[in-house]
Chain A
């Protein structure tokens, strides 16, 4: 496969469930990102990883827990979510490293449509 892939594409979960979203990039990139996309709101950056190290956490509730075991894989572990967490969760990757002088281009996966009942 090429590009950025995300699984599952759709997920329905109850508030007491625990689930994980998976992202994999086949582009040889060094940075990976999680975004939340809610209806009629701008994309919200949640987490940034550079070379498997978390470099940014934008005040995301602890019920979202990211994990980056290597530069190709990124997970978002979910537990005790709320209905307002229902959204499209997008993963992205980019070539660059923290400290690069140029913002590099992010390439996005197709997203996981999450519904919390």
Chain B
């Protein structure tokens, strides 16, 4: 069955430290997509990145970088030089094809990141 595991429930770092959020997934699909979302205290989930299963290139966007390792079924997220504004809950998600022709997201339980000044 499809599953997303975010083993880190909560992480606290001091500002300017680097931090990596782990995501491990399980799927039988050969084609799938992985996502990261950020949920600040205001509540809405903010889309950060989508990556398909055929593209294992790492991606960097400013202070954010993602490491996709298909061999270990992991899609980890690193924040470099963390800032207080990075404090939020971060969710990893896996898309699953449905019989209806739509796609369903399987979300992890989230990692709460606290960046201390």
Residues of A that sit less than 8 Å from B by CB: 4, 9, 31, 40-43, 45, 48, 50, 55-56, 88, 90, 92, 96, 98-100, 102-111, 113
User: B31-89: which have CB < 8 Å to A?
Assistant: 33, 35, 37, 42-47, 50
Residues of A within 8 A of B98 (CB): 56
Residues of A within 8 A of B46 (CB): 108
Kindly report which residue of chain B lies nearest to residue A94, judged by CB atoms.
B103
- Give bound CA distance, A58 to B103, whole Å: 13
Are A42 and B108 in contact, with the CB atoms below 8 A? Answer: yes
- Give bound CA distance, A107 to B47, whole Å: 7
Residue from B44, B102, B105 within 8 A of A111 (CB atoms): B44
The answer to whether the Cβ of B91 comes within 8 Å of any Cβ in the partner chain is yes
The answer to whether the Cβ of B16 comes within 8 Å of any Cβ in the partner chain is no
Are B109 and A40 in contact, with the CB atoms below 8 A? Answer: yes
Are A56 and B100 in contact, with the CB atoms below 8 A? Answer: yes
Give, as a whole number of angstroms, the nearest-CB distance from B34 to chain A.
10
Contact A110/B33 with A48-B102, A56-B98 known, Cβ cut-off 8 Å: no
- Give bound CA distance, A96 to B95, whole Å: 14
Kindly report which residue of chain A lies nearest to residue B52, judged by CB atoms.
A102
Are B95 and A41 in contact, with the CB atoms below 8 A? Answer: no
Contact A45/B47 with A56-B98, A105-B35, A110-B42 known, Cβ cut-off 8 Å: no
Kindly report which residue of chain A lies nearest to residue B47, judged by CB atoms.
A105
Are A42 and B44 in contact, with the CB atoms below 8 A? Answer: no
In the complex, 16 of the A-B residue pairs with CB atoms within 8 angstroms, ordered by the A residue number, are A4-B44, A31-B102, A42-B108, A43-B91, A43-B105, A56-B102, A56-B104, A90-B43, A90-B44, A96-B102, A98-B100, A100-B101, A100-B103, A102-B33, A103-B95, A103-B103
